[in-house]
Structure 1
């Protein structure tokens, strides 16, 4: 069984603490069995939340863009207000040696 991640531990613990406080405040119970039921239900809810946190698969690498074949140069995209079609074609031509 894999170890839980930091995110799973954090979300599960926060869920247990916050749901226990919320249920105790909303139910206003003071009996032992009532507090026990609330505590057990909060732990179960925390487990469900911790298990539903998406995990990164082992060996998964972030995808990167493939390398370009040649040097990468910036191209200007002419706006419709400036230049003619002939000027925009000249701007797209590769630079000579």
Structure 2
């Protein structure tokens, strides 16, 4: 089994601490048994986040790369700066009052 990356350790640790505090504050429990249940739940949640977070990021990168490759293959590249300058620009600012409202007083 590969070693966890620093990002995985950080994601998991932050999840455990924050979820434990949130569940303890929201439940307002004083019983030792329920505290153990909350801590175990937080540890399981932290493990789940640590294992799945980098996988989700890698999937997102793969989707972006596939989309870029598909766009490049179809020839639909992003507009160049010269093409962006050719687009019409609106020079007049929109009026503050709607048409017909200026005559009413």
The two structures have a TM-score, normalised by structure 1, of 0.57
Q: Which runs of 5+ in 1 are unaligned?
A: 58-76, 81-97
Alignment of 1:50-89 (within 5 A): 50-54=50-54
- Report the count of equivalent residues: 63
- 1:30-84 Cα shifts (integer Å, max 9, x gaps): 1000000000000000000000122699xxxxxxxxxxxxxxxxxxx5976xxxx
Q: Distance in 2 between matches of 1:54 and 1:38?
A: 25
Q: Which has the larger radius of gyration?
A: 1
Which 4+ residue blocks in structure 1 deviate beyond 2 angstroms?
A: 77-80
Q: Distance in 2 between matches of 1:39 and 1:21?
A: 9
The residue number in structure 1 matching 2:27 is 27
The two structures have a TM-score, normalised by structure 2, of 0.53
* Superposed CA RMSD: 2.6
